[in-house]
Amino acid sequence: MTLADCKDGQNLLIMGSSQNEINLQAIRFGINQGATVKVAKNITNGPVIILKNQLEIAIGRQLAKVIQVQIIE
């Protein structure tokens, strides 16, 4: 499942991406492999807004489509 597929309010574990450049971009925001985040808002055809330690981060749709995640219950 990718970040772009997630629904509002879901807690997620970041699994990473197969693209090194994407992994480097994600690390800059603190959303590296193993990080947990919450989906604040998944805007249709727009960015995915996630929460990471009180910080809201807007991830562009194209980037969200290549970040693999796992839902945390």
Rounded to whole angstroms, the Cα distance separating 44 from 12 reads 19
Rounded to whole angstroms, the Cα distance separating 49 from 57 reads 6
Q: What is the pLDDT of residue 27?
A: 79
Annotated domain spans of the chain: 3-72
**pTM of the entire structure?**
0.87
Structure tokens of 26?
A: 């994600």
Q: What is the pLDDT of residue 17?
A: 81
Mean residue pLDDT of the chain comes to 90
Rounded to whole angstroms, the Cα distance separating 67 from 39 reads 13
Q: What is the pLDDT of residue 61?
A: 93
CATH 1.20.1260.10 fits 3-72, yes or no: no
Q: Give the residue-averaged pLDDT of 42-70.
A: 93
50's CB contacts (< 8 A; 6+ apart) are: 3, 12, 31, 37, 38, 39, 40, 56, 57, 59
Q: What is the pLDDT of residues 62-71, one digit of tens each?
A: 889 989 999 9
